[in-house]
Amino acid sequence: MSRILLVEDHERLAHLVSNGLTAAGIAVDSVQRIDAAWSALHQVPYGAMVLDRSLPDGDGLALLKRLRDFELTIPCLVLTARDALNDRVEGLDAGADDYLPKPFAMDELVARVRALLRRPVECLPVTPGHGDLQLRPADSMLHCGEERVSLAASELQIMLLLARKGGDTVRRSALEAAAWGLSEAVTPNALDVALHRLRRKLRAVGSSQKIVNVRSLGYALREDEVAE
C-alpha cells in the first residue's frame, strides 16, 4: 500500500481526507504543523504529500520551499481555500506538482494523489540498492546476483531506508516509522521480528551485506561485520 503525508490542521477535514484515501488503498499519516511534517518526512519515505497552506506555524509553502532547497523531490499537491490565479502560481513556483482548491470532490483528490504516486521520484534510482543488493519495489523483491527473495511490505520499507543511507546508521524509531508509518500502532518487538526475518533472507540469497546493530544508535547495512 502506498503511503502519503497529509499536512492539514482542520481535524474534521483531515479525518475525511484520511478516510477517503485509505478507502482507495492509500495509507495516510496526518500531521497539523510544519515542524511535525518536516520531522515526519525525515523518518518515512513517503510517496507523496498533500499540503495545506494555512497552518498554525506558518504558510505550508514555507515547508515546500525548504524541501526543494534541500533537493527533496517528493511529489506535492497543495490543498487550500485560496483559488486566485496568483495563489496558484505562487504554489507552483514554490515547487508544488499540483494544486486543488477547497471545496473539492474526494474522487478528484484520490485521482490526483494517485497520479502523483505514479510519478518517478527523480532523486532515487529505479532499482535502489547497496553493495551486492538490489531492491525492486514494484514487485517487492530483493536481488543478490542471480538469487532473489520476496519481501513483506514492512521489510521492503526497512530495506529501502537502510539501502538509501548507504551504510550509515539509522535510528530504530526511523525504521519503525518507515515500516509502519507514524499513525499505526507497533508492538515493542515488531522491528526485532522484521530484522530477524531480513537477516535470514540476506543469508538465503548469499549477500555479503549484513544488518548490523550499532549499539545504542540503531542499525546499518554493512559488509563483513557480524550483526548482533
Q: Is the pTM of this model over 0.75?
A: no
Count CB-CB contacts under 10 A for residue 215: 7
Give the model's pLDDT for residue 225: 52
Instruction: Provide the pLDDT for residue 126.
Output: 47
Distance CA 71, CA 65 (A): 10
List, for residues 112-158, the tens digit of each pLDDT value: 999 988 875 544 444 578 899 998 877 789 999 999 999 988 898 89
Residue 86 DSSP SS3 = helix
**Tens of pLDDT along 51-84?**
998 899 999 999 999 888 877 788 999 987 766 6
Task: Identify the pLDDT of residue 42.
Answer: 80
- In contact, 74 and 49? CB cutoff 8 Å: yes
Query: In this structure, are strands 133-136 and 141-144 parallel, antiparallel, or unpaired?
Result: antiparallel
Q: What is the pLDDT of residue 224?
A: 62
CB 164 within 8 A of CB 44: no
pLDDT tens digits along 13-50: 999 999 999 999 898 999 999 999 998 888 788 889 99
> Does 1 have pLDDT greater than 60?
no
Give the other-Cβ count within 10 Å of 172's Cβ. Answer: 14
* 11 Cα distance to chain centroid: 22
Q: What is the pLDDT of residue 82?
A: 64
CB within 8 Å of 41: residues ≥ 6 apart: 5, 49, 67, 72, 74
Residue 21's nearest CA partner among 115, 116, 109, 153 is 109
At residue 187, the pLDDT reads 83
Task: Please determine, for residue 223, whether its predicted confidence score (pLDDT) is greater than 80.
Answer: yes
Contact 192, 205 (CB under 8 A): no
